[in-house]
Amino acid sequence: MIKKLFLYTVCLLPWFLGNLFPLDYDYYNEIIKPSFAPPTYFYAIAWSIIYLLTAYTIYSIISSYKIKDIPKSYKISLLVNYLFNQGYTLVFFGLKSHFLGFVFCLGTFISCLLLYEETSLLQNKKKYYLLPYIGLSIFAVILSLSIYVLNI
């Protein structure tokens, strides 16, 4: 049981690394946002749930296969998705770039679709845990594009 908990924790912790960087999170309150933009606390709750579910799918695959037996395509889609997901915080809040924020949101969404497909090939039932991630990514793309357009 402790080994499983440790493995799950190892799968979960990297998703929260972006929060460790000292960035200007108040910047979000200063920009023009569309009327459908949720309050700031929504993001902490929503992304925490997404990270818990995503880590569970990764944990399920890692605990069911030997690392060397996991297809390279899954590893690449996971890495690309992780980099886009974590990079968003750095480019939007660190560089204060609305356009790059949109690009990273779009990259997160597209790579999330690829991750969903790769997960379905390895553990078809676990792919459903990624559906909230896809939904939130779609919303993030629309919101990010709106923020970009409103702040040109």
Residue 49: predicted pLDDT: 96
CATH number at residue 70: 1.20.1260
Mean pLDDT by 10 residues, the chain (152 residues): 88 84 81 94 93 96 92 96 94 93 98 97 95 98 97 92
How many Cβ atoms are within 10 Å of 124's Cβ, its own excluded?
A: 9
- Give the pLDDT of residue 98: 95
Q: How far apart are CA 103 and CA 105, in angstroms?
A: 5
Q: What is the pLDDT of residue 17?
A: 83
pLDDT of residue 107: 98
Q: Please report the pLDDT score of residue 26 as a whole number.
A: 84
> Which DSSP state fits 31?
S
| Encoded tokens for 75 | 């590893």
Q: What is the pLDDT of residue 131?
A: 98
pTM above 0.85, yes or no: yes
* Closest by CA position to 88, among listed 128, 42, 143: 143
pLDDT of residue 16: 86
Task: State the residue range of the domain holding 36.
Answer: 2-150
> The dihedral of CA 94, 145, 150, 100: what is its sign?
positive
Domain tally, the chain: 1
